Structure 1
Amino acid sequence: MRHQSGDASLLRRLNSSAILRILREADVATLTELARAARVSRPTVEVIIEELLADGWAEECDDEPGDRQRGRPARRFRFRASAGHVVGVGVGHSSVRAMVADLNGTIVAVRKQPLPLNTPADERLDAIVELVSLVTGEADLDVRQVSAVGVGTTGVVNEAGQVVKSIALPGWTGLDLQALLAARIPAPVAVENDMRLAVLAEHWRGAARSCDNVVYLFTGDRIGMGLLIGGVPYRGAHAASGEIGKQPNDNWVAFRHVMDYAMSAEPGELRSSRQSAEFAIARARTGDERAQEAVREFAWGLAAGLITVVNPLDPEMVVIGGALSMAGDLLVQPIQERLDEYCLYPPRVVASALGSECITLGSVRLALNHAERTLFTMPG
């Protein structure tokens, strides 16, 4: 948006930001509708719209069929989402994922880079920077054209984007991730805990779009939890919300039954807790009764932990996410039964449909939030 000087310039920039925000929320609007919503005169809107058109932030809609037959139609305008783009990055144990989205959140490019489990911190940082460059290139963009880059990572992440503690990624504890990435990526960078971004993604694009109080349970190689309270991801006193922590001997009690089943079914195969659960789930789907019982016990173990959170927080919904969400009703139904039995106000339990993309989508939403604050709140 264009700059002028003095008080008139500030007022014009404030009005421009307001009209641009209204235009984005309205889908399509006429000059009269914009003037009414922004509470400014129509001539003021006309001048601002011409500037927004010239700068590429707005576009004029084509006439609808029949408009010419009714005489001269009112000019209609819409927000031009492709005027800006953001990048979301999900940093996992064994891979880094990235997405590019326009300012309406439409995904225009996706890329994934596998990584060895014990990748050193400096190499993981290199992979993130390289992937941001590659995925923006796939979207026919230069990284310098990106409005913001959001990054989701496991660990305790403070408001400055520093990883205070991490038990999952080697060399990650104490890393000033946001500053390190900002020094190498020529775009604004925001870093957040992955579980908080996962529940944000569910609220934005997933099962929890109509809910403001949600518990998100991540099931995979580890157990994590994201909390949405009043429509906002909960951070906690030490920004540690979402990190359940390390278990003795890396043994999650809830996995015991599926691990015992997998070992008894194929004694020669060594499987991780997640692999054991996936094995039992696959066998359960074929009708194996012992596998079905093991999966049910696994679900009840997850429910036991959820009850201690659900009763005091009183959420509307529990979303089962992560790699094991593909189990669907094999997990959802027994968890729902337990919550129905033991919770004062049982929330609805659903399986996430976002799958492995949840954290990356949450990172896109984080980047969009940053871009929107700049575009619609701070005049300039």
Structure 2
Amino acid sequence: MTEIVTTGADLPRLRELNSLSVVRALRDHPPSTVTELSQRTGLSRPAVDVIAQGLVTDGWASLLEPGASSAVGRPARRYQFRAGAGHVLGVDVGAHKILALLADLDGNIVHSVRHAVAADAGPGERLAELDEVITACLTEAGKAPSDIWAITAAVTGAVDATGRTSFFTPLPGWHSVDLTTHLSDRFACPILVENDCKLAALAERWKGAARDADDIVYLLAGMRTGAGLIIDGILRRGFGGAAGEIGALKQVRWLNAPAHLQNCPGVPDTVSPDDAAAWVFNAARQGDKAARTAVNRYVKDLAVGTAALVLTLDPQVVIFGGGFSRSADLMLDLLRRELQRLCLRTPEVRPSTLGADSVALGALKLSLNEVDDRLLSAGLSAPVAPRRR
């Protein structure tokens, strides 16, 4: 075994690494004793005791004094990660809404603000509404921009390395928007921009229906169809950010699949195109033959692209999400049967459990991942918001 010689110059870095080890051991765990932290880190109890006290002094941890309920012996002190040391934002910039979620460093949601926005709103109007939502979220929670450690904004369309939707987006004029630069006028922390389907997939693995899976295909089923991919536990973007955009291939029939619902015979003229699908789903539940036929045709088209992804990636689970997931009771069995017919191995198909908040929750998770990447590779003098590289 090679002996590691520690010089005087190495000692501060060694202490920093040991402190980082204890922070890692506190993250995502309930309040822990010195003994428990020692077991997780492999450090000695005396070393952990000193480090934990230092983390309390510096603001990274809180000390929970033992209660008086124990009848035998002296109860052990417990330490917990101070999740309130910083906060992150996850923002869903959608076609019809803008939703901001504010969370502490453990992912506990502190506040949320949701505003409606017109689908045909131009970039200026949508950005102004975004600014209002973020301002309201911070103000109502008593936070300032300097309290935010990372922001992730979810947008519709494939996102390239610069954070732009240069390939395609249904948001009018949005391909010209530099959202990172826009937000950097107010925030000095890391700012990420990512595709909504990808973030919804991340959310399902974090808090939703795919928490037990490392290989996931997430389907966003609505008036727009998309997919997010998690392989080996890692969100996959692809070289240019367009991974999962299989719907761009006309042969998979995703582009026109919602038309089966919009053009269903019997939809009243008073029902708008955006509300036609909801009318069809309700009619199908009541046994309407035309509505059931429209749903079947929609699912058959949806299954073509889904099968292509399943055959390529062999996921453990397919998550059925998006706006249409509220009618999963009508479609999941149909989708399963189609996948059984088209695929060599059929993965489990599950409905999303996160609803309309899934994209914003995924944005929160990506912000938290960014904080951890920087937190666990930087110094630990005192909690301070990381700055953009």
Same fold (TM over 0.5): yes
Whether 2:193 is the aligned partner of 1:219: answer no
Q: Report SS of the residue matched to 2:258.
A: helix
Q: CA deviation at 1:375?
A: 1.8
Instruction: Tell me, yes or no, if the aligned pair for 2:145 and 2:186 is still in contact at 8 Å.
Output: no
1:259 to 257, 262, 268: 262
Specify every segment of 5 or more residues in structure 2 that has no aligned partner in the other structure, as ranges: 1-7, 381-389
Q: CA deviation at 1:323?
A: 0.7
Whether 2:379 is the aligned partner of 1:376: answer no
Matches within 5 A, 1:33-112: 33-63=36-66, 66-67=69-70, 69-112=71-114
Q: CA deviation at 1:73?
A: 2.1
Q: CA deviation at 1:91?
A: 0.7
The equivalent of 2:387 in structure 1 is none
Alpha-carbon distance between aligned partners in 2 of 1:323 and 1:139, rounded to the nearest angstrom: 29
Instruction: Tell me, yes or no, if the aligned pair for 1:161 and 1:179 is still in contact at 8 Å.
Output: no
Q: CA deviation at 1:126?
A: 2.8
Alpha-carbon distance between aligned partners in 1 of 2:268 and 2:159, rounded to the nearest angstrom: 40
1:319-353 CA-partner distances (Å, limit 9, x unpaired)? 11111100022011100111122211101112112
The equivalent of 1:182 in structure 2 is 184
The equivalent of 1:314 in structure 2 is 314
Alpha-carbon distance between aligned partners in 2 of 1:72 and 1:315, rounded to the nearest angstrom: 50
Q: Report SS of the residue matched to 2:12.
A: helix
Letter aligned with residue 318 of structure 2:
V
1:207 to 179, 203, 209: 209
Matches within 5 A, 1:111-260: 111-243=113-245, 244-245=247-248, 252-260=255-263
Alpha-carbon distance between aligned partners in 2 of 1:38 and 1:270, rounded to the nearest angstrom: 61
The equivalent of 2:348 in structure 1 is 348
Alpha-carbon distance between aligned partners in 1 of 2:122 and 2:378, rounded to the nearest angstrom: 39
Instruction: Tell me, yes or no, if the aligned pair for 1:149 and 1:187 is still in contact at 8 Å.
Output: yes
Alpha-carbon distance between aligned partners in 2 of 1:342 and 1:242, rounded to the nearest angstrom: 19
Instruction: Tell me, yes or no, if the aligned pair for 1:165 and 1:172 is still in contact at 8 Å.
Output: no
Instruction: Tell me, yes or no, if the aligned pair for 1:167 and 1:246 is still in contact at 8 Å.
Output: no
Alpha-carbon distance between aligned partners in 1 of 2:303 and 2:220, rounded to the nearest angstrom: 13
Alpha-carbon distance between aligned partners in 2 of 1:251 and 1:57, rounded to the nearest angstrom: 48
Letter aligned with residue 223 of structure 1:
T
1:9-36 CA-partner distances (Å, limit 9, x unpaired)? 2222221111011012332221122233
Alpha-carbon distance between aligned partners in 2 of 1:114 and 1:25, rounded to the nearest angstrom: 34
Task: Quickly say closer, same or farther: Cα 1:251–1:376, change in 2 above 3 A.
Answer: closer
The equivalent of 1:301 in structure 2 is 301
Task: Quickly say closer, same or farther: Cα 1:211–1:154, change in 2 above 3 A.
Answer: same
Comparing 138-147 with 175-184, greater Cα deviation is found at 175-184
Alpha-carbon distance between aligned partners in 2 of 1:214 and 1:200, rounded to the nearest angstrom: 9
1:17 to 15, 20, 35: 20
Comparing 76-85 with 197-206, greater Cα deviation is found at 76-85
Alpha-carbon distance between aligned partners in 1 of 2:80 and 2:206, rounded to the nearest angstrom: 22
Letter aligned with residue 161 of structure 2:
E
Alpha-carbon distance between aligned partners in 1 of 2:9 and 2:180, rounded to the nearest angstrom: 35
Task: Quickly say closer, same or farther: Cα 1:332–1:268, change in 2 above 3 A.
Answer: same
Alpha-carbon distance between aligned partners in 2 of 1:36 and 1:141, rounded to the nearest angstrom: 37
1:52-76 CA-partner distances (Å, limit 9, x unpaired)? 2123321223435642x21212222
Alpha-carbon distance between aligned partners in 1 of 2:278 and 2:267, rounded to the nearest angstrom: 14
Q: Report SS of the residue matched to 2:263.
A: helix
Specify every segment of 5 or more residues in structure 1 that has no aligned partner in the other structure, as ranges: none
Taking structure 2 as the reference length, the TM-score comes to 0.88
Q: CA deviation at 1:267?
A: 5.3
Q: CA deviation at 1:260?
A: 3.1
Task: Quickly say closer, same or farther: Cα 1:159–1:131, change in 2 above 3 A.
Answer: same
1:103-155 CA-partner distances (Å, limit 9, x unpaired)? 11111111112222222223322322332221122222222111111111112
Taking structure 1 as the reference length, the TM-score comes to 0.90
Count of residue pairs brought into register by the alignment:
371
Instruction: Tell me, yes or no, if the aligned pair for 1:296 and 1:330 is still in contact at 8 Å.
Output: no
Instruction: Tell me, yes or no, if the aligned pair for 1:258 and 1:280 is still in contact at 8 Å.
Output: yes
Instruction: State the Cα RMSD in Å.
Output: 2.3
